[in-house]
Amino acid sequence: MATKSGKIRKEPVSQVERREEATQAIIAAALDVLGEGGYDKLTFSSVSKVAGYSRSVVQYYFSSKVALIVAVIDRVTEETLSLFKTSIEEKGLSPFGVLFGKLIDADKEAPSRSRARAVLFTDGSIAAVPEFNSRLRTYNRRAQTALRGVIEKHDPSCSDPEGLAAVMFGSIRGILQIAASDPDYDMVLALHALRRLIEAADGKSH
């Protein structure tokens, strides 16, 4: 079965699988809408069109816009932590290379998702909602802690892994923020440059 965005969905075989498939498709659609139109364009109608479900189905799984955005933030959090975990575990490669490579690949594959992440962290309408704000603060703490883990694994001699993690995290967020507001901004080029700067600094520290 194809969604209205042209993606093929495999037919789930059980009620649990149907629920999970629908939930994940709706969250993914919400990310696409956020990336393309921002928070104001995120409605049950716009999400249902992208997800390939009726508006009533979307509202069945997510009773409010707040509930949907909370689920989106949770998805972004888990994807980010998974990315950092993979960067640590891949053998024989610089975790920085793995990390930035995955960020670049993700942007090439679905640039609207990168813009959606930037919208989540820069839109004042989202930050003003207490439920969102607490989730975003949790994301910041968990992502920065995971990034510090990448640094400590790669360079145990680093004198200030927490400080470097804060700089890297802020730099990546800044790049995403600019990319969200300027369609002509070359995010891939910026990520490549940031990676080279970090690896060059890391090399000089030894």
Q: What is the CATH number of the domain that holds 37?
A: 1.10.10.60
**Same structural domain, 3 and 83:** no
Angle at 144 between CA 140 and CA 150, to 5 degrees: 155
DSSP state, residue 63: S
Residues in the chain: 206
**Same structural domain, 16 and 100:** no
**Same structural domain, 76 and 38:** no
Question: Looking at the DSSP assignment, which residues form a beta bridge with residue 8?
Answer: 2
Helix, strand, coil % in the chain, rounded to nearest 5: 80, 0, 20
Q: Which of 4-8, 45-49, 139-143 has the highest mean pLDDT?
A: 45-49
Global pTM value: 0.76
Domain hosting residue 54, numbered range? 1-63
Predicted confidence at residue 51, as pLDDT, reads 95
CA dihedral 166, 107, 181, 186 (to 10 degrees): 90
CA dihedral 147, 143, 177, 7 (to 10 degrees): 110
Chosen domain end from 63, 79, 113 = 63
**Same structural domain, 120 and 57:** no
**Same structural domain, 84 and 157:** yes
CA distance to 84, 159, 199, per residue, from 156 (Å): 17, 8, 15
One-character DSSP codes across 91-123:
TTS-HHHHHHHHHHHHHHH-HHHHHHHHHHHH-
Chosen domain end from 63, 90, 114 = 63
Predicted confidence at residue 69, as pLDDT, reads 93
Going by C-beta distance under 8 Å and a sequence separation of 6 or more, which residues neighbour residue 16? none
The whole-angstrom separation of Cα 11 and Cα 157 is 51
The whole-angstrom separation of Cα 34 and Cα 119 is 7
Worst-scoring range by mean pLDDT, 9-18, 46-55, 62-71, 189-198? 9-18
**Same structural domain, 90 and 157:** yes
User: Domain of 131: which CATH number?
Assistant: 1.10.357.10
In this predicted model, which residue has the larger pLDDT, 186 or 47?
47
pLDDT digits (tens, 9 = 90+) for 25-49: 999 999 999 988 888 899 999 999 9
**Same structural domain, 26 and 72:** no
Q: What's the total number of domains in the chain?
A: 2
Predicted confidence at residue 45, as pLDDT, reads 96
In this predicted model, which residue has the larger pLDDT, 161 or 183?
161
Predicted confidence at residue 203, as pLDDT, reads 59
Chosen domain end from 45, 63, 81 = 63
Q: Which amino acid is at 109?
A: E
**Same structural domain, 120 and 106:** yes
**Same structural domain, 99 and 34:** no
Residue 115 has pLDDT above 90, yes or no: no
**Same structural domain, 77 and 178:** yes
pLDDT digits (tens, 9 = 90+) for 189-204: 888 888 888 777 665 5
**Same structural domain, 73 and 51:** no
